[in-house]
Structure 1
């Protein structure tokens, strides 16, 4: 019989109190995942996993400990609680540890308005059919020599969080995905690229034919790639990877990094970090978005807020502990799994889009690099010095001249972010809505 997640979390808290905990919070998560992979027109792999995991965090004064398990029997819950309390009593004191005050907690925790759950439940045969259609569409693109992988998946997740401060809430979400990786060329001349789509509702998913076609066209476009010239040139980060550039900013304003003093933006509050006119907005209440949630991992309310307004940094990303370390309130950004303590994290995010297309930015750039793929990373968290391996296309006279690979781009994130010029091509259904970004004067190491 399926166990009620709310009952599990409250059983964990009751067991923790019985074992001597001063306070506790607990989370229970149930996952059901189905994935299908095809190759050469046949089923290659099928996987199904389902299970429930539980996590318990207990406090003994200002000492805390966390434990987790996938065994939800009553005797295991009791053992888990005893173990957690014993661990907490010998843990070092943390003056910033503790649950939220009851007055800080989210009131209405209903997720109905977020529309995160879909009743569609595709069976393995349906997912296989989708994957086969995507593979066939990719192989139909002239120049595609083979497929590396084509997969489809469906998942459901339900979670419940409860705490001894009186909070109790839960919600579920569904996910559907389809992706294809195509290869062009032969032998040492092979190039590969991908395309995929992921949605909370099956009906919103792009068609298999479109996904396969785009993957195939991308792989073929990379044929004959060579190194770009070495020098200092403008760069455009394609929309498919541009959110990673903004991700470096998010890492620098994360409460953990700021509280440790290990952030190149630690003294930048109230200063310009993006060009004037650009906003960076977090909105955890977007319907059907994968990063939406009605409350955070500590039971605090979530809501829309500007992390950057008109280019100026407005807020750190904080949970309770990092907020206390900095003498600030939590921003409702705690994320929590079954293992360990909560930590600050951002879900849905959008950057102000520009007035011009990516192609118009390319014409404005004249000569430079369009990056479509990044590998590796060397980021100095305290200085913002940046270096990454890249591949994509060399631009001359505002047009794509040839495919390029095996190069490195380097610069300083503070300088890079202050010069970004956004295009208008962001996909608005994504959790991170970030358009293609042009950045001035990066150092390219190529041929």
Structure 2
């Protein structure tokens, strides 16, 4: 397992592949190689259910010939001769492909230097060299389940799991870029079931981070899952109407997902986004900021360079409520006659625009203060279904949560639908002050007033 921390052989293979592509006739090429390993256990009702370990090596090549592009990938176990044949096939494919006027390598002047990458790797602190064994993970899952079952009202466990992974990538281009990085991840979760028969309710909690010492305790996660499940018992129905709605932080992040999908350069280039005409316009209320920071130390979405070798920096997609820019890689930037902002995501041969550590920044009022002004409303804890139209912004999703009465949480409610349009929802969104940075997408509690609710 210690060899996972050594990327020298992976780097060498990527260099061989790019060199072979150039010799075979490619005008330009880049290769991305990834190596990863993961270990996980699942535990339920006092017994181990699964115990898994997997390792993966992969390498992908992208080549350009006379304005045409092709890509090819394989596992990372072939010898030099096989890599050369792979490169030759890719070049042959490119010669038969239609021209792509926008596909390209990143501009040379935008690429990071090896020295800058080394400095950032140390600053970002993305690797914990602690390698947990199955016994460690099993104990973590077991303790979490025991804490869940200790909550009064929990009738059974839906299972607990724990896992560890380490992986990284190497990127080599024909115009001089060579870079690599690694990242570790630890996580565990549990699901609690409360009630009996047709009256059962379930809920969950989890913890995930880069360094194992940053994990929540098993007791805290188990208790939270159990308490959430018990609180959902015997839900009532809500009357159809218009309500002020508070989104719990764990589902408020879904609103960010809809937002970044709408400002993705690929959606803008295809004209399939409801925000396509809103660049520089007021999308959220004044005071709202949405940031994207790939340089957050120990961030789940952090990295020293993007999928094209460009050094990323913190950006604000929304500043004081205004939309400032699209999420771009080199190809979408070229198609939109813009400059990339270093947001190329990559898991294979072809980059695509993507966010990193995405955050809806905290507001000024606490959730309690926001709730205090709601006479009759809803506190959402779960959303169901995918009823969102990215072209029009129309939004309709099944939901459950709690009634708010006179500024206080009241009975649980379920089997209702919330609806609106994301244009209007974003304009009315008010973030609370309870932001916690623990995932790659983070949001505080959010208030959206006057949402349509279809109930009984």
Same fold at TM > 0.5? yes
CA contact (8 A) 1:139 1:145 kept: yes
Does the 8 Å CA contact 1:145/1:186 hold for their aligned counterparts? Answer: yes
Structure 1 residue 71: deviation in Å?
Answer: 4.2
The answer on 1:51 being equivalent to 2:89 is no
Aligned to 1:316: 326
1:436 correspondence with 2:445: yes
- The structural deviation recorded for 1:359 is 2.4
Q: Could you say which residue in structure 2 is the equivalent of 1:154?
A: 164
Alpha-carbon distance in structure 2 between the residues aligned to 1:361 and 1:101: 47
Residue 293 (1) aligns with residue 293 (2): no
Q: Which residue of 2 aligns with 1:356?
A: 365
**Equivalent residue for 2:392?**
383
2-structure distance, mates of 1:82, 1:146 = 57
- Measure the CA separation in 1 of the matches of 2:24 and 2:138: 49
Between 210-219 and 368-377, the greater mean CA deviation after superposition: 368-377
Cross-structure match for 1:7: 12
User: Equivalences for 1:18-417 in 2 at 5 Å?
Assistant: 18-74=23-79, 75-107=81-113, 108-110=116-118, 111-338=121-348, 340-417=349-426
Q: Distance in 2 between matches of 1:352 and 1:289?
A: 16
Deviation by residue 1:230-270 (Cα, 9 ceiling, x = unmatched): 11111111011111112211111100000111111111111
Please state whether the residue corresponding to 1:276 is helix, strand or coil. Answer: coil
TM-score w.r.t. structure 1 length?
0.97
Equivalents in 2 of 1:195, 1:76: separation in Å?
A: 46
Moved over 6 A (4+): none
Asked if structure 2 preserves the Cα contact closer than 8 Å seen for 1:290 and 1:431, the reply is: yes
SS of the counterpart of 1:330?
A: coil
Q: Which moved more, 1:142-151 or 1:399-408?
A: 399-408
Q: Distance in 2 between matches of 1:341 and 1:171?
A: 18
Distance 2:311 2:111 in 1: 6
Q: What are the superposed Cα offsets for residues 160-205 of structure 1, whole Å, 9 maximum, x if unpaired?
A: 1111011110000000001001100111111000000100000000
Is contact 1:235–1:438 with CA below 8 Å preserved after alignment?
yes
| Contact 2:328–2:344, Cα closer than 8 Å, also in 1 | yes
Structure 1 residue 304: Cα displacement: 1.0
- The change in CA–CA distance for 1:361 and 1:418 in structure 2 (over 3 A counts) is same
- 5+ long unaligned stretches in structure 2: none
2: CA distance, partners of 1:379 / 1:433: 20
| 1:366 Cα deviation after fit | 2.1
Contact kept in structure 2, 1:38 and 1:150, CA below 8 Å: yes
CA distance in 2, matches of 1:426, 1:366: 24
2:84 and 2:376 map into 1 onto residues whose CA distance is: 66
In the alignment, the residues of structure 2 paired with residue 336 and residue 267 of structure 1 have an alpha-carbon distance, to the nearest angstrom, of 27
Distance 1:155 1:181 in 2: 21
Distance across 1 between alignment mates of 2:102 and 2:396 = 35
Equivalent position SS for 2:385 = strand
TM-score (norm 2): 0.95
Per the alignment, in what secondary structure is the counterpart of residue 210 of structure 1?
Answer: helix
The Cα of 1:293 is off from its aligned counterpart by 0.8
- What SS is found at the alignment partner of 1:4? helix
**Contact kept? 2:372, 2:408, Cα under 8 Å:** yes
Deviations 1:4-53 (A, max 9, x none): 11101101101212222111111111111000100111211111001211
Deviations 1:120-177 (A, max 9, x none): 1111001100100000000000000111120000011121111101111000000000
Aligned CA-pair RMSD:
1.3
Aligned length: 446
Aligned counterparts of 1:174 and 1:149: Cα–Cα separation in 2: 24
